[in-house]
Amino acid sequence: MKHDANVIKSTTPPPRWQDLIKPFQTPDTAKGIWQIVNTIVPLLVIYYAMYRSLSYSYWLTLLLAIPTAGLYVRTFIIQHDCGHGSFFSSTRANDIVGTFCAFFSIIPYYQWRHEHAIHHATSGDLSRRGVGDINTMTVTEYEAASRWQRFYYGIYRHPLVMLLIGPTYVFGLASRFVGKNSGAREKRNVYLTNLVLLAQLVGWSMLIGFKAVAMIWLPVFLLGGAAGVWLFYVQHQYEDTYWRPTREWDYATSALQGSSYYRLPRIVQWFTGNIGFHHIHHLSPKIPNYKLQKCHEETPLFQQVNTFGIIESLKCAKLRLWDEEHRKMVGFDYAKSPK
In this prediction, residue 12 carries a pLDDT of 53
pTM: 0.91
- Class of residue 179 by CB neighbours under 10 A (exposed 0-12, middle 13-18, buried 19+): middle
193-219: burial string, b at 16+ Cβ within 10 Å, e else: beeebeeeeeebeeeeeeebbebbbeb
Q: Lowest-confidence range among 4-8, 32-36, 83-87?
A: 4-8
In this prediction, residue 15 carries a pLDDT of 55
Dmax over Cα atoms in the chain, in whole Å?
A: 62
Q: Lowest-confidence range among 3-12, 55-64, 98-107, 290-299?
A: 3-12
Q: How far apart are CA 82 and CA 85, in angstroms?
A: 5
Give me the mean pLDDT over the 160-168 stretch: 93
In this prediction, residue 4 carries a pLDDT of 52
**Which amino acid is located at 122 in the chain?**
T
In this prediction, residue 5 carries a pLDDT of 46
Which residues, including other chains, have CB under 8 Å from residue 213's CB and lie 6 or more apart? Answer: 201, 204, 205
Residue 338 has pLDDT above 70, yes or no: no
Give me the mean pLDDT over the 146-159 stretch: 95
CB 316 within 8 A of CB 163: no
Report the percent of the chain where pLDDT is more than 90: 88
Residue ranges of alpha helices (H) inside 146-265 are 147-156, 159-160, 166-167, 184-208, 210-234, 251-258
In this prediction, residue 2 carries a pLDDT of 47
CB atoms within 10 A of CB 242: 24
In this prediction, residue 181 carries a pLDDT of 76
- What residues does 308 pair with on adjacent strands? 262
Residue 16 has pLDDT above 90, yes or no: no
Give me the mean pLDDT over the 94-121 stretch: 96
In this prediction, residue 339 carries a pLDDT of 55
In this prediction, residue 18 carries a pLDDT of 87
Q: Lowest-confidence range among 19-23, 73-77, 103-107, 213-217?
A: 19-23
Cα separation values, 148 from 142, 144, 154, 335, 338, Å: 11, 12, 10, 16, 11
Q: How far apart are CA 124 and CA 118, in angstroms?
A: 12
Residue 10 has pLDDT above 70, yes or no: no
Cα separation values, 161 from 38, 79, 137, 142, Å: 33, 25, 17, 19
In this prediction, residue 292 carries a pLDDT of 97
- Class of residue 267 by CB neighbours under 10 A (exposed 0-12, middle 13-18, buried 19+): exposed
**Which amino acid is located at 185 in the chain?**
R
Q: Band of the pLDDT at 182, cuts 50, 70, 90?
A: confident
DSSP character at residue 125: B
Q: How far apart are CA 142 and CA 197, in angstroms?
A: 40
In this prediction, residue 179 carries a pLDDT of 79
Q: pLDDT tens digits, residue range 264-308? A: 999 999 999 999 999 999 999 999 999 999 999 999 989 999 999
